[in-house]
Amino acid sequence: MAKYNRNSGKEWSQEEIRQLRTLAKQDTPTRVIGLKLGRTPEAVYTKAAEERISLKPTNQSPYGWKKTN
């Protein structure tokens, strides 16, 4: 299990919030955003909600495969 202690419990900087906005706009999965920012996915969800940043569901299929019917 990954450890998220790098920024755990620390205040979010304006730079981290800017990165969160940018990554969310690029449809980056929440767990990847957490790894990049040194935060847990739960912390990312919480901060995104506070800042009104949409973390819309992303297609997490490997290699960009799309499901066909």
Query: Has residue 25 been placed in a domain?
Result: yes
Tokens of 17: 């919030």
Query: Has residue 59 been placed in a domain?
Result: no
How many domains does the chain contain in total?
1
Per-residue pLDDT for 3 more than 90?
A: no
Query: Has residue 23 been placed in a domain?
Result: yes
- Read off the pTM: 0.72
Per-residue pLDDT of 18-63, as tens digits, reads 999 999 999 899 999 999 999 999 999 999 999 999 987 755 555 5
Per-residue pLDDT for 4 more than 90?
A: no
Quote the domain boundaries for residue 42: 14-54
The predicted pLDDT at position 56 comes to 79
Query: Has residue 33 been placed in a domain?
Result: yes
Tokens of 9: 């419990």
In this structure, the number of other CB atoms found within 10 A of the CB of residue 42 comes to: 11
Query: Has residue 19 been placed in a domain?
Result: yes
